[in-house]
C-alpha cells in the first residue's frame, strides 16, 4: 500500500474520533445513570454515515480515477462534517435539559440528583459531545488537504 498523504491521515484521525464518540455515546445510553436508555434520534445514522463518507473518500482517491472520482471524493469530504455537525446538534439538544437539571438544580434537589451514577452519565455525555465536535472540526480541516500524495 502506498503511503498516505497528510489529508488522508487527518481524515483517519477524524474517523477514529467519530467512532470513539459513538462508542462513548453507546456506553452512556447503555450504562447506569441519568441517560440510561435515552437514545438520540438519528445519531447512529449521522455518525456512521459520516464515517462511511470519509472512508469511501480515502478509498476512492487510492484508486486511479479522473475528474468524476475527484468530484465525488470532494462531495463526500464536505458531506461528512455536515453529518457530524447535525449529529452533534441532535446530541446537544437531547442532553442540554438533563445537564442543566443535574448541574444547576437548587440545593435540595441537587442532593437527590447529583448521585455518582448521574454525574458519571453527565460527564460521559459531555465527553461524547467534545469528541464528536472534535471529529467534526478535524474533518473540516481535512477537507482542505489533498488525499493524493504528490510524487516528488
Task: Classify the C-alpha dihedral 65-68-70-74 as positive or negative.
Answer: negative
d(CA 115, CA 133): 27
Residue with more model confidence, 110 or 142: 142
**pLDDT over threshold 60, residue 7:** yes
Answer whether residue 150 is part of any domain. no
**pLDDT over threshold 60, residue 1:** no
Q: Summarize pLDDT for 11-58 with one digit per residue, the tens.
A: 999 999 999 999 999 999 998 888 888 888 899 999 999 999 999 998
Answer whether residue 152 is part of any domain. no
Check residue 38 and give its pLDDT.
87
Distances (CA, A) of 29 to 52, 85, 104, 137: 23, 20, 21, 24
Answer whether residue 111 is part of any domain. yes
Q: Summarize pLDDT for 70-128 with one digit per residue, the tens.
A: 888 889 999 999 999 999 999 999 999 999 888 888 888 888 888 899 899 999 999 99
**pLDDT over threshold 90, residue 149:** no
Answer whether residue 58 is part of any domain. yes
The C-alpha cell at 124 is: 460521559
Check residue 5 and give its pLDDT.
84
Range of the domain at 87: 6-29+41-142
d(CA 82, CA 7): 18
Helices (H) and strands (E) in the chain, counts: 5, 0
Distances (CA, A) of 58 to 4, 47, 86: 9, 17, 22
**pLDDT over threshold 50, residue 152:** no
The C-alpha cell at 135 is: 471529529
Domain count, the chain: 1
* C-beta of residue 84 within 8 angstroms of C-beta of residue 132: yes
Stretch among 1-5, 39-43, 48-52, 59-63 having the lowest mean pLDDT: 1-5
Q: Which residue has the cell 472512508?
A: 55
Answer whether residue 36 is part of any domain. no
Residue with more model confidence, 59 or 50: 50
Check residue 2 and give its pLDDT.
57
Angle between helices 116-142 and 67-104 (to 10 degrees): 160
Answer whether residue 80 is part of any domain. yes
Nearest to 137 by CA among 85, 91, 93, 74: 85
Amino acid at each position: 500500500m502506498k503511503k498516505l498523504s497528510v489529508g488522508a491521515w487527518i481524515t483517519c484521525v477524524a474517523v477514529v474520533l467519530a467512532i470513539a464518540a459513538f462508542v462513548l455515546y453507546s456506553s452512556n445510553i447503555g450504562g447506569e445513570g441519568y441517560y440510561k436508555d435515552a437514545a438520540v434520534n438519528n445519531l447512529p445514522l449521522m455518525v456512521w454515515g459520516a464515517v462511511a463518507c470519509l472512508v469511501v473518500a480515502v478509498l476512492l482517491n487510492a484508486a486511479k480515477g479522473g475528474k468524476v472520482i475527484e468530484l465525488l471524493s470532494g462531495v463526500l469530504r464536505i458531506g461528512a462534517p455536515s453529518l457530524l455537525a447535525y449529529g452533534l446538534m441532535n446530541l446537544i439538544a437531547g442532553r442540554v435539559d438533563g445537564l442543566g437539571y443535574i448541574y444547576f438544580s437548587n440545593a435540595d434537589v441537587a442532593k437527590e440528583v447529583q448521585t455518582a451514577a448521574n454525574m458519571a452519565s453527565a460527564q460521559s455525555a459531555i465527553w461524547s459531545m467534545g469528541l464528536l465536535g472534535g471529529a467534526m472540526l478535524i474533518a473540516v480541516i481535512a477537507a482542505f488537504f489533498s488525499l493524493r500524495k504528490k510524487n516528488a
